[in-house]
């Protein structure tokens, strides 16, 4: 029985215990047929094509979970190309048949993921509320009277309703984050240029970003890493170098004074304050900062010449098909005609002046924590005042791409009645995408808000994001230092943490050494050996602790570079070859843990 929310850990576990991709496809088909929200998708992948995709995957990679996203179902916002399905941008007259997948979609499919359909959006990705589509308004999974957020509305609802494991959105003004808040999801907004936009219908080409909606931070980061990477066909693609955060104990900037605006929504304000206290309890230093220059930069996106980029994206189509536009979308885009080239340069000058002012605030903090949206509205309220109320949603999101930031939106809990969710987002300087993730994950877990519409489910341990800061040194362990083994405390006491489990490549042999107490194995590399690899764990230690740990390793053990089955090469425990002479080879057990179990007395 599959859970409501199809997070990666749950699906991988199900696949490992007998579920097939074809079984999952049948479940997705059944769930979509039973959905009570007809506005989530614009185009579904035909059922027979879904089944064929599942069969093709198994033929290509028969072993369960043998690809990073083996059999994982995902949905794609309908301004991103999927070969075989039309791209419409929620405007039927604009529709075209792409000949190839967008770069992001191609990379995800190569990793084993299966596209289930194209999702609804605010037309031409213009809006943050989800009501600007001729295909209807996808609704919040918690109350059909309320908006789902936009423009990536259908993408968020598909994941929150359990119809997909993850989905792709786009984010120019906050469209990959606001829908996450309204549907109790994680929204991953990469630094502009980190993920290519090839095959994406542009909104504002210079600041558009492809985003991920997922159940957990760990899922979202794993998916983003598969999508990212330079693509020369995208003029805004960048060769990225990950940035670290300067403090082990993060300094988090929070709203203060007059810049705290929630448009009368005391529930969201209370949830924001509760998130601040959770951050404090997790060890963060809370620093009030001046949001004013960020807010002024945010206002440029719709009240400045950047709106002309929206016109540039569709000007030829608008000239011939103005009547096919949603009225609000058309009014916004046609407003761009009021700007000229002088306005564009003056807007750029103003943005750069504001960027200089934000530098003083960044000097105080490592990253910001802001409400994802300060409030929410019903569909009726939004449609009665579509411009003003939509702008409320973007108060804290609109600056992020203009100022070259990374952001992760996470759930922050539910209002006092347990009715509607709200969220917060962590925002950091360019390319802090990975650096933000451990604290975002910890904060999500501390909120105990569940995932999507399942608000009571615990987040899986397998998706936990551990710190990977530059001030930690990785080390591979194979024996008595493994989790739950007698010497594991030598790693945990000085502040070490487990990064991941894995295996060596096939050239390593494992032996039970004679004499050590507690018993220990010896790992030896034999270049001529072709085995299945040996179970290992990769841990991380602070540098000083790493030095003490290595200094105290007794002979015949030592450290050297160990090659893992993913071709990575990491410092770890090795044994001098002479010491295994006469010892029992235990390579056949696959690892020290299995060997120890085999020698333990049976009760």
pLDDT at 492 over 80: no
Q: How do the domains of the chain map onto residue ranges?
A: 8-248+372-463, 473-599
Q: The whole model's pTM is what?
A: 0.81
Residue 148: its H or E element: none
| Distance of alpha carbon 489 from alpha carbon 493, whole angstroms | 6
pLDDT digits (tens, 9 = 90+) for 330-350: 999 999 999 999 999 999 999
Q: For the stretch 69-86, what's the b/e string if a residue is b when 16 or more beta carbons lie within 10 angstroms of its beta carbon?
A: bbbbbbbbbbbbbbeebb
**Which CATH number is correct for 473-599, 3.40.190.10, 3.40.50.11140, 3.40.1160.10, 3.10.490.10?**
3.10.490.10
Q: DSSP assignment, residue 91? A: -
- Name the CATH architecture for the domain at 8-248+372-463: Alpha-Beta Complex (3.90)
Position 539 scores a pLDDT of 84
Helix axes 307-321, 327-334, angle to 10 degrees: 120
pLDDT value of residue 603: 39
Nearest to 223 by CA among 183, 194, 184, 181: 194
Q: CB atoms < 10 A from the CB of 497, how many? A: 15
- Identical fold for domains 8-248+372-463 and 473-599, yes or no, is no
Helical (H) or strand (E) element with 158: helix 153-160
Residue 497: predicted pLDDT? 64
Instruction: Write out pLDDT tens, residues 93-106.
Output: 999 999 999 999 99
453 neighbors 4 (Cβ within 8 angstroms)? yes
Closest Cα to residue 361, out of 238, 248, 259, 278? 259
Assign 3-state DSSP to the chain and report helix, strand, coil percentages, each to 5. 35, 20, 45
Q: Kindly tell me if the per-residue pLDDT of 494 is higher than 90.
A: no
417-467 per-position pLDDT tens digit: 999 999 999 999 999 999 999 899 989 999 999 999 999 999 998 898 876
User: Looking at residues 471-478, what average pLDDT do you find?
Assistant: 84
* Mean model confidence pLDDT for the chain: 94
110: Cα separation from own chain's centroid? 18
Q: What average pLDDT does this structure show over 405-424?
A: 97
pLDDT at 542: 77
H or E, element range at 575: strand 569-575
Residue 222 pLDDT: 96
Residue 581: band (very low, low, confident or very high) from pLDDT cuts 50, 70, 90: confident
Spacing of C-alpha 533 from chain mean position: 30
Pairwise CA distance, residues 471 & 596, whole Å: 33
- What is the predicted pLDDT for the residue at 233? 97
- Sign, CA dihedral 472-478-482-487, equals negative
Mean pLDDT of 179-188: 98
Percent of the chain with pLDDT over 70: 97
pLDDT score, position 376: 98
Per-residue pLDDT band for 286 (boundaries 50, 70, 90) equals very high
pLDDT at 469 exceeding the cut of 60: no
Which residues belong to the active site?
77, 151, 175
Average pLDDT estimate for 223-228: 97
Q: Binning pLDDT at 50, 70 and 90, where does residue 18 land?
A: very high
């Amino acid at each position: 029985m599959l859970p409501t929310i199809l997070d990666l850990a749950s699906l991988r576990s199900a696949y490992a215990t007998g579920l097939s991709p074809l079984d999952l496809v049948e479940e997705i088909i059944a769930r979509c047929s039973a959905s009570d929200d007809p506005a989530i998708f614009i185009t579904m992948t035909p059922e027979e094509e879904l089944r064929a995709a599942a069969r093709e995957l198994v033929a290509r990679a028969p072993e369960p979970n043998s690809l990073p996203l083996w059999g994982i179902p995902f949905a794609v916002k309908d301004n991103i190309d999927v070969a075989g399905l039309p791209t419409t941008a929620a405007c039927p007259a604009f529709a075209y048949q792409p000949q190839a997948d967008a770069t992001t979609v191609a990379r995800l499919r190569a990793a084993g993921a299966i596209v289930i359909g194209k999702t609804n959006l605010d037309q031409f990705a213009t809006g943050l509320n989800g009501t600007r589509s001729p295909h209807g308004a996808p609704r919040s999974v918690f109350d059909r009277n309320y908006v789902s957020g936009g423009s990536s509305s259908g993408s968020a609802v598909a994941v929150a309703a359990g119809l997909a494991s993850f989905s792709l959105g786009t984010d120019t003004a906050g469209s990959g984050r606001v829908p996450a808040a309204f549907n109790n999801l994680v929204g991953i907004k990469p630094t502009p240029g980190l993920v290519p936009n090839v095959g994406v219908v542009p909104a504002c080409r210079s600041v558009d970003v492809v985003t991920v909606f997922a159940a957990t931070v760990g899922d979202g980061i794993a998916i983003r890493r598969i999508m990212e990477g330079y693509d020369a066909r995208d003029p805004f693609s960048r060769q990225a170098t990950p940035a670290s955060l300067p403090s082990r104990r993060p300094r988090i900037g929070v709203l203060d004074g007059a810049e705290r605006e929630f448009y009368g929504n005391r529930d969201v304000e209370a949830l924001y304050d509760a998130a601040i206290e959770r951050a404090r309890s997790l060890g963060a230093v809370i620093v009030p900062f001046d949001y004013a220059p960020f807010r002024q930069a945010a206002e440029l996106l719709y009240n400045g010449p950047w709106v002309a980029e929206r016109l540039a994206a569709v000007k030829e189509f608008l000239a011939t098909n103005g009547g096919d536009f949603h009225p609000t979308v058309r009014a916004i885009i046609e407003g761009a005609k009021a700007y000229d080239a002088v306005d564009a340069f003056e807007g750029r000058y103003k943005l750069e002046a504001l960027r200089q002012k934000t530098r003083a605030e960044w000097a105080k903090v490592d990253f910001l924590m802001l409400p994802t949206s300060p409030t929410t509205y019903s569909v009726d309220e939004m449609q009665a005042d579509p411009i003003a109320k939509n702008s409320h949603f973007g108060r804290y999101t609109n600056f992020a791409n203009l100022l070259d930031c990374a952001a992760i939106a996470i759930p922050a809990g539910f209002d006092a009645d347990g009715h509607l969710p709200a969220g917060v987002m962590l925002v950091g300087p360019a390319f802090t995408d990975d650096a933000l993730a451990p604290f975002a994950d910890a904060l999500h877990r501390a909120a105990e808000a569940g995932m999507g519409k399942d608000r009571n489910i615990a987040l899986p341990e397998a998706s936990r994001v551990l710190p990977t800061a530059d001030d930690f040194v990785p080390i591979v362990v194979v024996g008595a230092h493994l989790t739950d083994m007698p010497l594991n405390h030598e790693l945990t006491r000085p502040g070490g943490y487990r990064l991941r489990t894995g295996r060596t490549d096939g050239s390593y042999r494992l032996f039970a050494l004679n004499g050590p107490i507690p018993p220990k194995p010896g790992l030896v590399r034999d270049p001529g050996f072709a085995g299945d690899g040996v179970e290992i764990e990769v841990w991380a230690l602070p540098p000083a602790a790493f030095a003490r740990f290595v200094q105290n390793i007794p002979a015949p053990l030592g450290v050297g570079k160990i090659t893992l089955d993913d071709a990575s090469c990491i410092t770890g425990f090795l044994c001098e070859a002479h010491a295994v002479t006469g010892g029992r080879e235990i390579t056949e057990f696959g690892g020290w843990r299995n060997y120890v179990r085999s020698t333990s007395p049976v009760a």
